[in-house]
A and B are shown apart, each in its own frame.
Chain A
Amino acid sequence: MEETRLTEHLKNRPAQLKEAKKDGAKIIGYFPGNYVPEEIIYASGAVPLCLIHGGNPRPADAGLSVMPQVICPFARAQIGERLLKENPYYDLIDMLVAPVTCQHLKKVAEIWEYEGKLHVFKLGVPHQHNNDFELEYFSDRLKALKNRLQSFTGNEITEEGLRQAIALYNRMRRLLRKISLLRRTASPPLSALEFIKLNHASFYADPVFMVEVLDSVYHELESKQAYASTDTPRLLLLGPNIGLGDYAILELIEETGAEVVIEEICEGIRYYWHDIENKGDIFQALTRGYLLDRIPCAFMRYSTRERLDFALKLIDDFNVSGVIWYELQCCETYDSEVYYFTEKMSERDIPVLVVESDYTTATGGQLKTRLQAFVEILKGVV
């Protein structure tokens, strides 16, 4: 029944936000990747809204009038959503906070900035952070974000307000973490699709309400009986991005008789493995949390090894027997890693299936065949 409450809430959310705007609230959109601290946005009284819709080829194709095919379908879909004007969220935003991350999303922000119909704030993310001056840079930029939001909303962002916001989002992260860890059991009480949908919801729902829902969901799942183990192959899903709506691959995996028990996706789910330390200098704490205490995205310098190690840890902790590498077409930084990852995985006898998506590939029969063959490898046929 939590699911129904959440669905209702999300159905009404655009209308709710429109009302809030009439009362003077600002809606601040931001791109995924877990580099934008929602806490700062929340503490300004504005509504943070992650632009993370994907999976539908229509907006991605609409984006082709602005950016060519070599730009990934997710980035093109963001452009397309604003062009098509069918998605209420994309119209509601008053400002975009664009983290300086991969070349594709950087370009979307640049184009919107150039078009001039939307306020754009580029949040500088240093692409290497071995040195103190780089961490200081990010800390400074977070302060600049705070100042910008203060002047944009007309509200002061107090330390108290920030601490409360951090506490709230920490709760959200903690609950998502706990729910995710339930999937370590032999019979996970929720599917990857359900978990990802919850995660996606957290980017759009009112955060206080979302935390309530997650708390309820956690207790409900925790009490669910863990069944005996099955021979369903347990998979790790790795990739750059699962957009809200980009679910065909997950559905196909389920149909083929395997289950994804854990994911590591840069721009698809909220990073929930660590909390932000809510004491001491706030901006240093946010810098540590959003830049250091997390798995880097593939575009980060010197990130490849760290990312592999984390994936191997997940494979161990979640008792995974196979990996699905789900990549958006033309994502050159992630694609570069395929060779390395598959080599290291094969050294450990872990089969990897590489799937490339332009948001239309899941409908073809070939992907089904490949998934079936993959499951047959993992499970055996006889």
Chain B
Amino acid sequence: MTKVVIIDNDEEIRARVINHTGAEHRRLANKVMEEALEQGGMAFEELTYVIATGYGRMTIPFADRNISELTCHARGVYHYFPGVSLAIDIGGQDAKGLKIKEGKLIDFVMSDKCAAGTGRFLEIIAAALGHKVEDLGSISSRATGKVTISKTCTVFARQEVVTRLSEGASLEDIVVGIHDAIAGRVASMVARLKEGPNVLFTGGVAKNIGVVRALERNLGCEVFVPDEPLLSGAIGAALLGKEITLKAQARGEPAHREKRHLDEATFFT
């Protein structure tokens, strides 16, 4: 997914776009940017500063700078919740834990290469259960108990889920177990950050209320989800762009390099 956020000087969001660009995300980044510009009613040249972040950030030709998504997320969640000390982001591909102090990233953990503990895990299990991943949250809220899923590996968890279902366990209770499995995994991952009490949860998986509750149980504290859990990285990037611009202006320098065009990314092989 490619996301674009445009903010103005007052840090108000002028445009927000979330687009499924699939495998062509790099090539099509400029198209998503165009969509955002249209939404915001402005031309590309009016943008003061452009930051690229996330997977593929290195190949955006119209970016002034690229910053890691970890730093951008930290800044973004701080914007929602100034007291934040730990931010957990679970996306489709990976999971991250960010330790934040006064808005600055001071430590982080990222998940391993495998799918467990990421949105992918839920997708695979949802498919095995014959349901949409978006419905998992509401399914779990109807549960009366929990079926513990003991397997940590996605492949084996999937098998276990199917077996349990065939043995007559309730779908709702199984989903609670799945939520617990992913939350437990992520809680273990962030354990070494020795988080404080103020936890923010972002990323696609944060829209699943069942996982939110499971995370609260596993961490032993309240977990907050911002209104737009998918945009914290992009918002953070935009806010950092503003800070960079202001600092450059204070020094009397131009914020961005002269020739910057909204081009498609080209690849050199």
* A residues in contact (CB < 8 Å) with B: 339, 342, 346, 351, 364-366, 369-370, 372-373, 376-377, 380-382
Contacts and interface: CB of A to CB of B under 8 A. Distances in A.
29 contacts: A342-B192, A346-B107, A351-B106, A351-B107, A365-B55, A366-B94, A366-B113, A369-B68, A369-B69, A369-B110, A370-B70, A370-B108, A370-B110, A372-B67, A372-B68, A373-B105, A376-B67, A376-B71, A376-B105, A377-B71, A377-B104, A377-B107, A380-B104, A381-B67, A381-B71, A381-B240, A382-B240, A382-B244, A382-B247
A375 to B, nearest CB: 9
Q: Which of A342, A346, A351, A381 has the most CB of B within 10 A?
A: A381
Contacts of A381: 67, 71, 240, 243-244
Contact of A373 (B55, B94, B108): B108
Nearest to B247: A382
Main secondary structure of the interface of B (DSSP, over half): mixed
Given A370-B110, A381-B67, 18 more contacts: A339-B192, A351-B107, A366-B94, A369-B70, A369-B110, A370-B68, A376-B68, A376-B70, A377-B71, A377-B104, A377-B105, A377-B106, A377-B107, A380-B104, A381-B71, A381-B243, A382-B240, A382-B244
Contacts of B247: 382
Determine the interface band of chain B, counting residues with CB < 8 A from chain A. 10 to 19
A102 B94 CA distance: 34
A373 B68 contact: yes
Q: Which of A339, A346, A366, A377 counts the most chain B CB atoms within 10 A?
A: A377
Interface of B: 55, 67-71, 94, 104-108, 110, 113, 192, 240, 243-244, 247
B58 to A, nearest CB: 8
A372 B70 CA distance: 9
Contacts of A370: 68, 70, 108, 110
Contacts of B192: 339, 342
A167 B68 CA distance: 50
A322 to B, nearest CB: 11
A106 B181 CA distance: 39
Contacts of B70: 369-370, 373, 376
A380 B101 CA distance: 13
B243 A382 contact: yes
Main SS at interface, chain A: helix
Contacts of B107: 346, 351, 377
A365 B113 CA distance: 11
Contacts of B71: 373, 376-377, 381
A139 to B, nearest CB: 42
A376 B69 CA distance: 11
Contacts of A366: 94, 110, 113
A366 B108 CA distance: 13
A380 B105 CA distance: 9
B71 to A, nearest CB: 5
Which 5 pairs, one residue from A and one from B, show the smallest C-beta to C-beta distance? A373-B70, A373-B68, A372-B68, A382-B243, A376-B71
A346 B106 CA distance: 10
B94 to A, nearest CB: 8
A382 B51 CA distance: 12
Contacts of B55: 365
A203 to B, nearest CB: 33
A215 B85 CA distance: 52
Contacts of A382: 240, 243-244, 247
Most buried by A among B68, B107, B108, B113: B68
Nearest to A372: B68
B236 to A, nearest CB: 10
A381 B69 CA distance: 12
Nearest to A365: B55
A323 B247 CA distance: 29
Contacts of A369: 68-70, 110
A369 B110 CA distance: 10
Contacts of B244: 381-382
A211 to B, nearest CB: 43
B232 to A, nearest CB: 15
A277 to B, nearest CB: 43
A364 B111 CA distance: 14
Nearest to B240: A381
Nearest to A342: B192
